[in-house]
Amino acid sequence: MAAAAATAAVKGNGGGGWLVIAVGLVRAYLAKGSYHSLYYSIEKPLKFFQTGALLEILHCAIGIVPSSVVLTSFQVMSRVFLIWAVTHSVKEVQSEDSVLLFVIAWTITEIIRYSFYTFSLLNHLPYLIKWARYTLFIVLYPMGVSGELLTIYAALPFVRQAGLYSISLPNKYNFSFDYYAFLILIMISYIPIFPQLYFHMIHQRRKILSHTEEHKKFE
């Protein structure tokens, strides 16, 4: 019981972090009167809380959260990579609308997800949160992935021009690395992996929400 309460507190803090990001976005929008370049208003908390989400992989591995380690690892690592290796490293893309697209999708998704886990651990899960968890992803996941891919695509010319993170031959290690090509491979990797994550959630939605409806019929 104490362990569940402690885990619920951790999840609550995670959800609170994304709520801070949501409030920051709204406040910046109201102050500017425009949605352009809102990324700068939430850059620091976004980096902090999304990087902290690496702990989610550990939570899945030890069974605290009943989710796939592989799919969770892909989701978390791809986000951390996008924040630090793309958006942080290529300043020119930070004002792109695609950045706001994935930030909004992540923020709504994470507030719902952390709320779901927190209330589940406390054995007090409102149906509305369960419904939101297994329904809104239908729009939010493609929205987030679109923003991620468009941001990487926007970064490509700047990466190629600057030779960012690339290693050319000859060098004493006899090793070369083309970050531009690596980013293209990252984009291609979404093709087999994203559908797995998406249809896994579709399957979970059918199983969990249909079970809830059947349970209601017998009450």
> Could you give the CA distance from residue 39 to residue 172 in angstroms, rounded to a whole number?
40
Look up residue 181 and give its amino acid. Answer: A
Cα torsion for 146, 148, 151, 157, to the nearest 10°?
Answer: -100
Residue 99 structure tokens: 């950045």
Residue among 117, 148, 179, 180 flagged as catalytic: 148
Q: Write down the residue that tokens 């729009």 correspond to.
A: 139
Q: Is 148 a catalytic residue?
A: yes
Q: Write down the residue that tokens 């995670």 correspond to.
A: 14
Element (H, E) at 82: none
Residue among 29, 141, 153, 190 flagged as catalytic: 141
> Could you give the CA distance from residue 198 to residue 189 in angstroms, rounded to a whole number?
14
Q: Is 141 a catalytic residue?
A: yes
Q: Which residues are catalytic?
A: 141, 148
